[in-house]
Homo-oligomer: A and B are copies of this chain.
Amino acid sequence: MIVVMKIGSPEAEIKRINDELTNWGLTPEKIVGKHKVVIGLVGETASLDPLQIQEVSPWIEQVLRVEKPYKRASRQFRHGEASEVKVNTPAGTVVFGEHHPLVVIAGPCSVENEEMIIETAQRVKASGAKFLRGGAYKPRTSPYSFQGHGESALELLAKAREATGLGIITEVMDAADLEIIAEFADIIQVGARNMQNFSLLKKVGAQGKPVFLKRGMAATIEDWLMAAEYILAAGNSNVILCERGIRTFDRQYTRNTLDLSAIPVLRDLTHLPIAIDPSHGTGWSNYVPSMSMAAIAAGCDSLMIEVHPNPKKALSDGPQSLTPQGFEQLMQELAVIGKAVGRWEKPTAVV
């Protein structure tokens, strides 16, 4: 349920309502929107009568039931307003959200060595990326494949961060690594294969860094929003949803089927920012430009693109990685669409 407050409701009254509803055994959550304050309610609300809550204060404008099983993640929970995920990076705060410029995340599948990660970071930064992706702990289908350099890779990411000012995003696969990853990363990624690792979701929800939640390869939109709900319910409201291709019957020419319709569907259903990963989504770098163009035209808030200085020699996912040159060219093409749809960052007056 949500309690929509009238414009101009006094802080003290909002606090009083909050306390009252807490006494009722509910968990109120204050959401400050552009115009109005909304109090989200989670708990045993099924038996509650909205009218009963309405009577708690004359400052309450409306009490509405959230019909979706994902409560906090639903667009209704914020009374229709998009949320913003603000991330601190050395170069300043970057905001992911519907009313902000597209945020581009780029980098290699895995952090391989210092030279390659620094070089990649510098190149993608120069082309306009705001975040560097790079795997320290890699979920690999085979136990015999390269599993990532772990902690030492985190240190290399820190160096790349320092050298370029880019924010860092990297994946957590094991709750035991969460603390150290949170030390180094600005955003923590939960990968497709762990989207329903509920223990991990609870733990990333209980820490403070923003979470980049990839869609599971057979997850319905609803499964995915329920996974986000685990994180939100654990106390972390900074969740970015990332579509990365679903598994379908046709895997001959693309590794997955990139479900771009997730963009308008999620926009309807949730207030959370939406990212697209065309690299995993298609599995082939030559399809990445076209799908990136489509994603921004469809309204996504962020793109995650794999870039490797030498894709042919990559330790993982080479075929889907752009070269730095390829990425630079793509960013120029994206700018054309991005400007056309009003989602491209304006150059600052003095640099």
Contact = CB atoms under 8 A, between A and B. Distances in A.
Give the interface size bracket for A toward B.
Answer: 35 or more
A110 interface: no
Contacts of A340: 336-337, 339-340
A150 to B, nearest CB: 12
A116 interface: no
Interface string A280-301: 0110001101110111111100
Nearest to A336: B340
Interface string A140-154: 111110000000000
B229 A143 contact: yes
A290 B340 CA distance: 14
Interface stretch (A11-19, A56-64, A251-259): A251-259
Contacts of A246: 248-250, 257
A72 to B, nearest CB: 9
21 contacts: A69-B141, A71-B144, A141-B223, A173-B197, A173-B199, A174-B199, A175-B175, A175-B176, A193-B197, A194-B197, A220-B249, A221-B250, A246-B248, A246-B250, A247-B249, A260-B294, A261-B290, A264-B282, A291-B298, A336-B341, A337-B337
